[in-house]
Structure formats: C-alpha cells, structure tokens
Amino acid sequence: MTNAVAVPFAGHAAPRTAADRGHVAAVPVADSDERTRDRVLGAVLEHGPISAAELGDMLGFTPAAVRRHLDHLARSGVIEVKRVAKAGAGAGRPARRYVLSSQGQSTLGNDYLDIAALALEQLQAVAGEQAVRAFAVERFADMERRYAPEVEQAGPDITAKAQALSAALSRDGFVASAASIEAKAPLPAALSSVQLCQGHCPIQQLAAKFPVFCDVETEVFSRLVGVDVRRLSTLARGGHVCTTHIPTGRLAARGPQVPQAAPASLDEVTNHQQERP
C-alpha cells in the first residue's frame, strides 16, 4: 500500500506554532507521545504492511519505543497485525506486519473513497451498471499488466503461479498468502487447490458498495494463473480476509486434453468451461 499523502490522526494535537516551540520544556510528555504516535501511524499508513523493526529503522526509534507506540495504536483499534509468510521462506512462523485497520481508515478520513463512491453512483445513474464495470476493468487492467510477467516467469505449475501472484499482491500492500491444500485419499487428487488470501484491501469501502470490483479482480486472477478460480469470501462483504480458491489438481487428474468438436449451437457454450469445486 503506497500513499504519499501524510494524513493527521483525527483528535491528535495540531502542529505547534513558532511561539509554542519556544517553550519546548513545557510540552507535556503525553502530548509528545501523541505526536510520536502520529508519526508511527503515518508511517504505517504510507508504508504498511511494515514490521516493527522496519518502522524503528525508518523513524529512528529503539525497538522498545516503537513497540510501545504500536501496542497503543493497536489497542486503540486504528492499526492491526497481519501475519505474512515470506515468499520462498518455506515453513516457519509468519512475520508480524502492521497495517491500518478499517477503524483507522475511518478515523483518518477516507474522503477520496467517499468522492469516488459518489462519482460512481452518478456514473451508474447516468450510464448504467456496465459503465461502472468498464471503470473497474480499466482499474484492474494495470494490475494485470504489471503482474503478468512475474506470474508467467513462475512457469506452468499452477501452485507456483499462485505463489508468484501472492508475492506481487503483498508487495502492493494486500498482505497476501498462498496455502497449498493437497487432497489425500479417499478424496480425489482433483480436489487439490491453493487458497489465496488477502488480509487488506485499499478499496474495501468502495467494493462494499460496488461488488463488481471484487468480481473483476477475481477475473484477473483467473487469467493470470490460467484456471477458473472462485472467490470464497471478501473483506468487502464482511469476511475476515479475501479468499480465492485456485484448483491445482484438475489438469493433472484429467491427463492430456483431447480437442472437442465445436458445439452444435451457442446455447452449449458457457462462460466458465471448467468445473466448479
């Protein structure tokens, strides 16, 4: 998540005037702590998901100091911890990284999302739902263009593609992870899958009003990994995370594909040729 705009934390002290700075000795410790927490919160907003160690290095705080402020902000509900498995690190304890919570986003003020929602409502009223969908398609086209080379570099293996997609999403602030689920007997191998999870969504409030954003993102994932995927849950619809089911065992279970004759009519053609789980 990248956001170069520094946003003041609502309710905290405003910047002091030159006259005020002449009486530094009189500034209460509590007020100093609040301003320091503003800096920590601003860094989480701009650079999250970010670890405590990275915040300390960035802001020049000791580990104990930065953790004290992070704990306070977490208790206040404006930030939250996401556990992220490092790509290529194998089994191990996921790293703790901090992101702005939904409450924090509301506290800081998401005027740009309110304006975007209002604009889309007007667009829908004037040009219809297809115009909103076209807007969403254009927005995610950039994601697909940027991710495609990285996912393709992972090779033909669906699991490897899903892991590459997860790494790209995490780099963009979605706090993603990809967990392989191998089907074991007596279950058929065709049920093996990867569960792609996203713990953060920068446009969560917008997607709650316009679910087409989630639908278009799912379509992008399907094209990137090369199989028909299924969205199981979304943050926008109240889920704890956004979860996408990516089947990995079907192609192996089916073996070589035999070209099929063209359908007798267009009625036999469906939008999703692959089976659903």
Residues of the chain with pLDDT under 70: 1-31, 48, 84-94, 102-113, 250-277
CA distance 224 to 148: 6
Q: All domains of the chain, ordered by start, with CATH?
A: 32-85+93-108 (1.10.10.10), 128-247 (no CATH)
- pLDDT score at 162: 97
DSSP characters for 151-211?
HHHT-S-HHHHHHHHHHHHHHTT--EEEEEE---TTS-GGG-EEEEEES--TTHHHHHH-T
DSSP H/E element including 87: none
Please write the tens of the pLDDT for every residue from 237-276.
888 789 999 999 865 444 333 333 433 433 333 333 333 3
* CA atoms within 13 A of residue 140's CA, in its CB half-sphere: 21
How far CA 54 is from CA of 47, 96, 199, in Å, comes to 10, 11, 20
Residue with tokens 């702005």: 100
pTM above 0.75, yes or no: no
CB 85 within 8 A of CB 94: yes
Which residues pair with residue 82 across a beta bridge?
97
